[in-house]
Structures are given as C-alpha cells and as structure tokens.
Chains A and B, each alone.
Chain A
C-alpha cells in the first residue's frame, strides 16, 4: 500500500509526517537537521532521497540530505559559494528543485547551484547574468541578507532542461536550455510601482505548473494565469477577498482547478477577518469559492508562506498547508474538508508531499 509522506521545513528544523493512502492518521518525526532554520524540504521521487535547504545563523548555509527517509542526515555546502574574492555572498539557500538525482539550489544573492552527485558537491549553474534587472541584484547595496534572492524554482513536468526561476522583487525568468540562457516571463503582470525596465520589476511570489502549457501565479498584486507557458499573463483576481498571498497549488488532474490562500496585504499578511480559508477555482480563475470546513473560523490570524502549500497526486488529491505559527492542515478530499494534523510546530516555511510505494 502506498505511503504518503509530508516534508515540512520549519524555523527550527525539518519534520516528516507519514500516513497511508487514506491520509487520516499521521505519524510525526523530527526535528531533523539539528534544529537549523529549514526553508524548503523536497524528495527526489526517483531515488527517494530527501533534501533540505537550511541556513544556520552560526554555521552558514547548507543542503542536508537523507537517503533513508529521515533516519540519518548529512549536510554539504561544498561548492555553494561565489568564490573567495567575489563581492557576491551566499547568505541563504532558500529553495530546492530535484529530479533524477539532480538537485537545483536557489540562493541569495541570486544564483542557482546544481548537484549531480546526490547533494555531495555543488557547482554554480547560473546567476542569470545580463538579464534586465541584474544590475539591481548585482549592486552590493542590494546584497543579502533579506534582498533579491532566488525564491523559487519551478520545473517543467517533462523537459529537464526547462525551468522557471523567481528573482525576488524582479520577476519570473525561464530557461529552456538548462540555465545557459534566460528570458523574462512577466508580460501582462501588474505592478503598482515604477519600474526601470519594461520586462521586469514584478513581485512574483509563487508559480505553479498546471499542465503542459498552463501556469498559475500568486503575485504580490493579484492572481494570474498563463496559457502559453508564461509568455503572457492574465489577471484572475476577481472573486478573491484580497489580491495578496504567497502559497498556491494546482489540482494534479484537472487543469482548470487551482487553489490559493489570500492574505491581508501590507504588514499583516494573515488570513482576512481571522477566518482560515483556502480558495478554489474550478474554471481557471473565472470564479472562486471558499473552502472552510474544518478550518478555524474565529480569531485565526494565520499566515502561510510561499512554499507552505502542496497537493498530492492521488485520484482524489489531498491538499496541505502549514502556517507561520506552526499549525499543519490536511485535506484528503480536494480541499472540501480539513483536519489540523499538527498544532505546535515551529513556524512553517515549506510543505511538500510525496507518495512512496
């Protein structure tokens, strides 16, 4: 029988939860990674290896890995550096993407490193040099911490040489040749602030691949959909309670069904009116409906970060999200009903799900 594995990154280490295909009862293990702040935990579906992007305030950034479903962990940062003499520093490994033993690591200052040996060693793949906006992220005044990193990498479902990278506050970029060349993919997005370049200057929070041609994105200003691989975007915010949010997930079997968690904009960034709600569209963003059954509806000022929502791939898919105050919620019926499966975790940075045969 299949096992369902939730991979949770928190400010105080990584946690793993497992269940069967029913996804009702969960067993939690952790914290792993010695309690380091963990920003993203992923599993390679081919090798089964688990990777965690972490950055210790004392000991720097590294990628932790487990080859035995979390029983033992090792870490490496060998090669994750811009060099001794470079003004660029790696302050944080912030996001991971993995397939077939190859690990892509997005970092601050913006760059992507890769490992082809299962996370033992890394080498620089790209800094997206020369792209519009790169003068901003190459400016030492804008160097991290806290500025202009690669905040997410989205893989194509079929083509390993093709993926998308978000540069914080700059926008979305696509490569179709494994990082050798890049193209801004922000046409049609909205920005309510002045921009020095036509093609960039957008605040992309989360991009989700829906099918072979469709992408969704939660932006600082609005939800957006692309039906042409990100070449052009159409805003689909109407019907949502706010335009702001971080997390998003796509239904694995229905290209028109998609989920997001709107948050109050500005500094609050929690669920509006203290009512925990996931919003679903079944018509590609033409209309939205709230999913609240089982979620707290009173005084629930919960925040959810960009990597903290996931969908599994069962016939009736499950959905999961974790909050910045340590609650973890799961649905085994496409979001129609929810259960709180962990209540007192450290602040949650990421939630991913894997099905292990």
Chain B
C-alpha cells in the first residue's frame, strides 16, 4: 500500500476525503484512479486532458518529482502538493 498525502485545498471539495490515506496502486495514475472511484470528480481536480497533472499540482514519490506514469512501490510515500501560485 502506498501512503498518500493530499493538499488541504483538495479535501474540502469531497465529503469524507482525508488528508492522508493508503491506496493499492502500481502508478501515480492508478492511485488517482482509485481516489476517483471513491470520490467521483476528484481526477479532474488533479489532472487535465492528455492526461497530465495540472500545471500547479506537483506530485512527489519518495521525495522525487513524479508524473502520472511514475511507478509506486508497496510502501511508497506519495505527496500531492498544490504548488504556490497566485496571490
């Protein structure tokens, strides 16, 4: 199970979505699909058509910058960050 950490900007949008949860997933994309299954509409908040991660959504797997295709190990830590932008 990968350990997923979500940004505080995301959790208020979906009832019951925690900041931290464990998911069974082979890639970042799979992890987001699992979130989408439980909280419909969530993928669109992190990804844009292509698909790719939204410009200001950054994902790190075990502290390395990741993409949707990045593989996950059973005990990977995945940090989803709402990157600083705007004012």
A residues near B (Cβ < 8 Å) are 34, 56-60, 62, 75-78, 81-86, 89
Tell me, in angstroms, the Cα distance from A57 to B54 when the chains sit together.
9
Contact A58:B13 (CB < 8 A) given known A82-B49, A84-B50, A89-B49 = no
Query: Is B9 a contact partner of A34 (Cβ separation < 8 A)?
Result: yes
Query: Is A76 a contact partner of B41 (Cβ separation < 8 A)?
Result: yes
Contact A81:B45 (CB < 8 A) given known A34-B13, A58-B9, A59-B9 = no
Taken residue by residue from 20 to 45, chain B's Cβ proximity to chain A (1 for < 8 Å, 0 otherwise) reads as 00000000000000000000110011
Query: Is B48 a contact partner of A57 (Cβ separation < 8 A)?
Result: no
Query: Is B54 a contact partner of A58 (Cβ separation < 8 A)?
Result: yes
Inter-chain CB contacts under 8 Å: number: 47
Select from chain B the residue with minimum beta-carbon distance to A34: B12
From B41, B50, B83, give the contact of A78 (CB < 8 A): B41
B86 within 8 A of A: yes
Contacts of B50 in A (CB 8 A): 84
B63–chain A nearest beta-carbon distance, Å:
21
Tell me, in angstroms, the Cα distance from A57 to B10 when the chains sit together.
12
A74–chain B nearest beta-carbon distance, Å:
9
Instruction: Pick the 8 closest A-B CB pairs, nearest first.
Output: A59-B45, A58-B82, A84-B49, A57-B86, A57-B85, A58-B56, A77-B44, A34-B12
B57 within 8 A of A: yes
Select from chain B the residue with minimum beta-carbon distance to A88: B49
Tell me, in angstroms, the Cα distance from A83 to B48 when the chains sit together.
10
Interface size class of B (residues with CB under 8 A): 20 to 34
6 pairs, A vs B, C-beta closer than 8 Å: A58-B83, A60-B45, A62-B44, A77-B44, A82-B49, A85-B49
Tell me, in angstroms, the Cα distance from A76 to B43 when the chains sit together.
11
A285–chain B nearest beta-carbon distance, Å:
39
Select from chain B the residue with minimum beta-carbon distance to A86: B49
B71 within 8 A of A: no
Tell me, in angstroms, the Cα distance from A187 to B13 when the chains sit together.
45
Taken residue by residue from 45 to 60, chain B's Cβ proximity to chain A (1 for < 8 Å, 0 otherwise) reads as 1101111001011000
Contacts of A82 in B (CB 8 A): 49
Contact A59:B51 (CB < 8 A) given known A77-B41, A78-B44 = no
Query: Is B48 a contact partner of A89 (Cβ separation < 8 A)?
Result: yes
Query: Is B85 a contact partner of A81 (Cβ separation < 8 A)?
Result: no
Tell me, in angstroms, the Cα distance from A76 to B41 when the chains sit together.
7
Tell me, in angstroms, the Cα distance from A60 to B50 when the chains sit together.
14
Select from chain A the residue with minimum beta-carbon distance to B45: A59
B51–chain A nearest beta-carbon distance, Å:
6
Select from chain A the residue with minimum beta-carbon distance to B50: A84
Contacts of A60 in B (CB 8 A): 44-45, 48, 54
Contacts of A83 in B (CB 8 A): 49
A70–chain B nearest beta-carbon distance, Å:
16
Residue in A60, A62, A77, A86 whose Cβ sees the most chain B Cβ within 10 Å: A60
Tell me, in angstroms, the Cα distance from A59 to B50 when the chains sit together.
16
Tell me, in angstroms, the Cα distance from A86 to B49 when the chains sit together.
8
Query: Is B13 a contact partner of A59 (Cβ separation < 8 A)?
Result: yes
Query: Is B13 a contact partner of A75 (Cβ separation < 8 A)?
Result: yes
B58–chain A nearest beta-carbon distance, Å:
10
Tell me, in angstroms, the Cα distance from A89 to B49 when the chains sit together.
8
Contacts of B13 in A (CB 8 A): 34, 59, 75
Query: Is B57 a contact partner of A58 (Cβ separation < 8 A)?
Result: yes
Query: Is B46 a contact partner of A59 (Cβ separation < 8 A)?
Result: yes
Contacts A57-B56, A59-B9 aside, 13 further interface pairs with beta carbons under 8 A come to A34-B9, A56-B9, A57-B85, A58-B56, A59-B10, A59-B13, A60-B54, A77-B44, A78-B41, A81-B49, A83-B49, A84-B50, A85-B49
